[in-house]
Amino acid sequence: MKEERELRGIIKYLVAVSLIVGLAVFVFVLLKFRTDSVYDIAMAAFIVIYLVTVIIAYFRVKPILNSSLLDYSVKKGQIQRELLYEFSVPYALLDTDGKLMWGNRKFRELIGVTEKKNLRRRVDDYFNKIDMSFLDILERKDETDITLVYEERSYSVLFKRVNVAEAWNEGDDAVDGDDDILIAMYMFDTTELNRYIRENHDQKLIAGLLYIDNYDEVMNSMEDVKQTVLTALIDRKINMYLTNIDAITKRLENDKYFFVFRQKYMDTLMKDKFSILQEIKNINAGNEIRATLSIGIGQGYEKFTDAFEAAKVAIGLSLGRGGDQVAIKNGDLISYVGGKSAGTEKTTRVKARVKAQAFEELLENKDKVLIMAHQRPDADAFGSAVGIYRLVTTLGKKAYIILNQITDTIEPIVSTFTSNSIYEDMLINNEQALQMVTKSTLLVVCDVNRPSMTECEELIGKVSNLVVFDHHRQSNEAITNATLSYIEPFASSACEMITEMFQYISVKPKIRPVEADAMYMGILIDTDNFLNKTGVRTFEAASYLRNSGADITRVRKMMRSRLSDMKDRAQGISNAEIYRDVYALSYVEAEPDEKSAPTVAAAKVANELLGVENVRASFVVTEKDGILYVSARSIGDVNVQVIMERWSGGGHANIAGAQLKDKSREAFFAELKAVLSEMEMGGDI
């Protein structure tokens, strides 16, 4: 219609211009007209004939033109309607309530409705997976799109708001009412496109590293003649498993493999939960110790070199968490599979010797050393800090321990230092530590590897030289800028690790009895009096400290509980309930007048509940100032660290914990029960 009006206007314009020009020439001729000039008479007659001809032609051609334009318009509309009806993309018109008003042939074929049948039904009657919320979106914007799966094909559905009145008036201002609004629906079939995208994604290469965690220990546990048999069995199992995913495998060393496979097999491995972990543990060729694997995988990278670097990071995380598991790094996202076993103690001290020598070399050009552990430090945190203090001062360097809060647990041992003038400048706070930092300052973090849990997180980013000594299994949050990192999840405590290092530095330190007491107490607390996570090296470290002057009687006196603590423990035991016959759940109520939560009592209750028949794991909580403290303990093959990671906690396979803000005890236990049931069903614990 708009085109017709424009065409008529152009014709009228041309006729008007012709008449105006003719009249102008005629007037000019009349002004110069001479009756005796034959030329003037001929020119005037010609102009008159021209004007009459133009007028007659306009009125003669006008009805013919109108008829032709009308015929063109009708045919054009028919062609447009036919093209739209035969449009290869399913297309429909809806009203503002989502009811279908019209659909082209492809749309009708798609929903199985013939041309003679009325479509006056809501669109979700035909496509039950369509979310009608798109109607609300179209009230705020002109168009929106959704994805839809219909009859095993994928569609990208575009909904577009159309103002019919505005379109009818060809761009003139129109009143926007519901009666004038229609919704155009386009359905673009993306099935093939999605298939090509998926095939391209599935062809991406994934890098993997596979390490046998305890190769040396396993081999040393069996006869020489059987070692070859075990090696062959392990190698065959690994190669057969990786062949099933069409992987290219390269054995780097006796206990290390590199492999490459395509992305499309990743889902298979995840559903299988990397059964190779269990298959290797089941191999028995006369070995007294089970072999376990650690696997690191890098995926989701455009460049294969980036995937390989990610795999190296992932294998480090897997080993740092105790092995017997798979770490998968996909960009910033890291996930874990396995990790049910507690791991095997390393009998060799090679790593301790190497780290001790590296630490000594690192100290050579440093002016001072700042030492800090985690917030609310326990006996192991303070004891290991004292051990590092002695080691550093023995090498002739100045050392300071950052301690902001003296908890009830460490108050007895800390008081033995604060009352001794020799240690008058040993303890400092955060503000003092930040003022001491120079380019040649070394920061040592002990008994923690998470930046957010340290005494002064700001200090980590301020120093250029950083060392980490810890025995906790690593999580996704880790200190990444360490110059030297010694994380040994198999160790019972950080005090055990530091004690071993004493034996490998060039100048043998002379440990004072009070220092030996602090470190011995750290080992006792973390092992629950040598009952948990205790190995040969634990007793050797304890023996070394005893020879250095640690007194069991003094330590025992410092570890004595207050009567209120014993009442808290009794309360925790009386509150216990058993879930699924093997999990003990309990809580300890904090007294209103107590300054801090009875976390020590909760931890001891968790330890004592493991003595109940058939109990495999215990979870005890206590609450103070809006923070819920969780102590988790296990005996056997339940990995409480994996469980606590659901709440951003961590620790060891048998000793773990978490701190939850704004979470009630009842809500946590409800979530915990759901998680335990889920993990049992999935075979994760």
450 C-beta neighbours (distance < 10 Å), count: 19
What pairs with residue 207 in β-bridges? Answer: 260, 298
Lowest model confidence (mean pLDDT) among 253-267, 343-357, 599-613: 343-357
Q: Is residue 326 scored above 90 in pLDDT?
A: yes
Nearest to 296 by CA among 321, 264, 262, 271: 321
Question: Once rounded to an integer, what is the mean pLDDT over residues 560-582?
Answer: 90
Give residue 175's pLDDT. Answer: 42
Using DSSP bridges, classify how beta strands 655-661 and 627-634 pair: parallel, antiparallel or unpaired.
antiparallel
How does residue 433 score in pLDDT terms, banded at 50, 70 and 90?
Answer: very high
Question: Once rounded to an integer, what is the mean pLDDT over residues 604-631?
Answer: 92
Give the sheet arrangement for strand 293-298, strand by strand: 248-253, 256-262, 205-212, 293-298, 325-330, 333-338
pLDDT digit string (tens) for 499-525?
A: 999 989 888 888 999 999 999 999 998
Q: Is residue 78 scored above 70 in pLDDT?
A: no
Distance CA 336, CA 320 (A): 12
Give residue 171's pLDDT. Answer: 47
Q: Is residue 73 scored above 80 in pLDDT?
A: no
SS3 state at 286: coil
Q: Who wins on pLDDT, 48 or 99?
A: 99
Give residue 286's pLDDT. Answer: 84
How does residue 174 score in pLDDT terms, banded at 50, 70 and 90?
Answer: very low
Residue position matching structure tokens 């410092």: 558
Question: Once rounded to an integer, what is the mean pLDDT over residues 293-313?
Answer: 92
Strands (DSSP E) found in 263-367: 293-298, 325-330, 333-338
Nearest to 180 by CA among 165, 161, 159: 165
Cα angle 199, 200, 202; round to 5: 60
Task: Write down the H helix ranges in 321-477.
Answer: 350-363, 379-394, 411-418, 430-436, 457-462
Question: Once rounded to an integer, what is the mean pLDDT over residues 150-167?
Answer: 82
Using DSSP bridges, classify how beta strands 181-189 and 205-212 pair: parallel, antiparallel or unpaired.
unpaired
Distance CA 273, CA 271 (A): 5
Q: Is residue 187 scored above 50 in pLDDT?
A: yes
Nearest to 642 by CA among 418, 336, 262, 279: 336
CA 581 → CA 340, 431, 630, 677, distances in Å? 19, 50, 20, 12
Tell me the two tokens of residue 494.
């950080």
Q: Is residue 223 scored above 90 in pLDDT?
A: no
Q: Is residue 172 scored above 50 in pLDDT?
A: no
SS3 state at 73: helix
Give the global pTM.
0.63
How does residue 285 score in pLDDT terms, banded at 50, 70 and 90?
Answer: confident
What pairs with residue 623 in β-bridges? Answer: 628
Question: Once rounded to an integer, what is the mean pLDDT over residues 73-84?
Answer: 62
Residue 170 zone, left/alpha/beta (φ > 0; ψ -120 to 50; rest): left
Using DSSP bridges, classify how beta strands 368-372 and 441-446 pair: parallel, antiparallel or unpaired.
parallel
Q: Is residue 347 scored above 50 in pLDDT?
A: yes
Q: Is residue 176 scored above 90 in pLDDT?
A: no
Q: Who wins on pLDDT, 632 or 346?
A: 632
Kindly state the percentage of the chain with pLDDT values over 90: 44
Burial class (CB in 10 A: 0-12, 13-18, 19+), 31: exposed
Termini Cα distance of the chain:
74
Give residue 235's pLDDT. Answer: 93
Give residue 495's pLDDT. Answer: 96
pLDDT digit string (tens) for 133-145?
A: 888 877 888 888 8
Q: Is residue 462 scored above 80 in pLDDT?
A: yes
Nearest to 534 by CA among 486, 491, 474: 491
Give residue 149's pLDDT. Answer: 87
Per the prediction, the chain carries an average pLDDT of 85
Tell me the two tokens of residue 191.
């099935």
Q: What is the dihedral of CA 618, 623, 628, 631, to 10 degrees?
A: -30
How does residue 23 score in pLDDT terms, banded at 50, 70 and 90?
Answer: confident
Instruction: Answer yes or no: are the C-beta atoms of 456 and 428 closer than 8 Å.
Output: no
Specify which of 72-76, 216-220, 578-582, 645-649 reaches the highest per-range mean pLDDT.
578-582
674 C-beta neighbours (distance < 10 Å), count: 11
Q: Is residue 318 scored above 50 in pLDDT?
A: yes
How does residue 245 score in pLDDT terms, banded at 50, 70 and 90?
Answer: very high
Give residue 66's pLDDT. Answer: 58
472 C-beta neighbours (distance < 10 Å), count: 25
Q: Is residue 342 scored above 60 in pLDDT?
A: no
Give residue 173's pLDDT. Answer: 46
SS3 state at 408: coil
Residue position matching structure tokens 């060799």: 348
Tell me the two tokens of residue 521.
């107490």
Distance CA 588, CA 618 (A): 13
Q: Is residue 528 scored above 50 in pLDDT?
A: yes
Q: Is residue 158 scored above 70 in pLDDT?
A: yes
Q: Is residue 67 scored above 60 in pLDDT?
A: no
Q: Please, what's the largest Cα pairwise distance for the chain?
A: 150
Q: Is residue 579 scored above 90 in pLDDT?
A: yes
Q: Is residue 277 scored above 80 in pLDDT?
A: yes
